[in-house]
Amino acid sequence: MKIAVMYREGGTWGEQIVGHLRGEAPSDWQLQLGHIPEQLPAVLEDPAEHLPGDVPEADLLLMLPESSPAVQLVPELARAAGVSEVIVPVDDEAILPLGLQNQIRRTLESMDVEVAFPSPFCTLTVHHGRGPFIRAFAERFGRPELAAVPDEDGEIEGFSVERCAPCGNTAYVVEQVRGLGAQAAEKRGPLVHQFYPCLASHDLIYRSALVTRAALRAAARRYRSEMKEGRT
């Protein structure tokens, strides 16, 4: 799978996600990086005039905008990259409000391009996409999934990462709660999630922390259920 990742070079949010993807993406994925222009007018009368010169051809466009003007480039970037599917994370609703999402969605639909707007990015699941590329990405990066790691007595002492948040936060949380036990990990996990730091906006960071807590809780419950079934 070829993924065109468009981000602002030097932007904290995009750089963090790009760094994690480059280190953890499967070997058969081709991450092709392009840069969003730093200076854009508030309203793009003709977005095609503001396209960067390094838009790579790909199957999937991952757009990591850090400003509303940059979001307006999405349809033209999708056209230039020749993609059939697009992911535009919403980690700041001030940058990408619902009205702008709907506008972009309608434009892309007219181009027969599918788009997912996970809000925040770590809520992405395979259900966000009908096509193969969004689903393939979401199987590897998106809503965190963990597995409980027991000690010699069968008690939960930690967790392993089955699927990580796109920014790498999940792996950080797992390291920070190692050895605490399930209940303490569930309480501390959302706190250290925000210390990573989670780069979601103030309005979304709590939702993102709850996603991490839900992953810890689900892994513990699944382990206990498996243990119970094994004893019966």
Structure pTM? 0.92
Range of the domain at 41: 2-140
SS3 for 193? Answer: helix
Are residues 40 and 71 located together in one domain of the fold?
A: yes
SS3 for 98? Answer: helix
Q: For the chain, what is the domain count?
A: 2
Q: Give the pLDDT confidence score for residue 58 in this predicted structure.
A: 97
Are residues 76 and 158 located together in one domain of the fold?
A: no
Q: pLDDT digit string (tens) for 204-227? A: 898 999 999 999 999 999 999 888
Residue 105 corresponds to which tokens in the numbers above? Answer: 């969605």
Are residues 134 and 158 located together in one domain of the fold?
A: no
What is the amino acid identity at position 88?
A: V
Are residues 22 and 102 located together in one domain of the fold?
A: yes
Identify the CATH number of the domain in which residue 203 sits: 3.90.1010.10
Are residues 75 and 118 located together in one domain of the fold?
A: yes
Q: Give the pLDDT confidence score for residue 232 in this predicted structure.
A: 40
Q: Give the pLDDT confidence score for residue 47 in this predicted structure.
A: 72
In the chain the first and final C-alpha atoms are separated, in Å, by 44
**Strand ranges inside the chain, DSSP E:** 2-7, 30-35, 60-64, 85-87, 114-116, 145-150, 156-163
Q: Give the C-alpha separation, 156 to 224, whole Å.
A: 9
Are residues 19 and 105 located together in one domain of the fold?
A: yes
Are residues 163 and 121 located together in one domain of the fold?
A: no
SS3 for 119? Answer: coil
DSSP letter, residue 5: E
Q: Give the pLDDT confidence score for residue 68 in this predicted structure.
A: 84
* 8 A C-beta contact, residue 173 and residue 212: yes
Residue 15 corresponds to which tokens in the numbers above? Answer: 């750089």
Q: pLDDT digit string (tens) for 17-34? A: 999 999 999 999 999 999
Burial class (CB within 10 angstroms; exposed 0-12, middle 13-18, buried 19+) of 21: buried
Q: What order of strands is seen across the sheet that includes strand 60-64?
A: 30-35, 2-7, 60-64, 85-87, 114-116
Q: What's the Cα-to-Cα distance from 129 to each of 45, 178, 190, rounded to whole Å?
A: 30, 34, 27
The stretches in the chain having pLDDT less than 70 are 41-43, 45-46, 48, 50, 197, 231-232
Identify the CATH number of the domain in which residue 94 sits: 3.40.50
Are residues 154 and 88 located together in one domain of the fold?
A: no
* 8 A C-beta contact, residue 64 and residue 5: yes
Are residues 116 and 174 located together in one domain of the fold?
A: no
Are residues 6 and 80 located together in one domain of the fold?
A: yes
Are residues 39 and 134 located together in one domain of the fold?
A: yes
Nearest to 2 by CA among 25, 36, 35: 25
Q: Write the DSSP assignment of 48-86 as a string of letters.
A: GGG--S-----SEEEEE-SSHHHHTTHHHHHHHHT-SEE
Are residues 61 and 126 located together in one domain of the fold?
A: yes
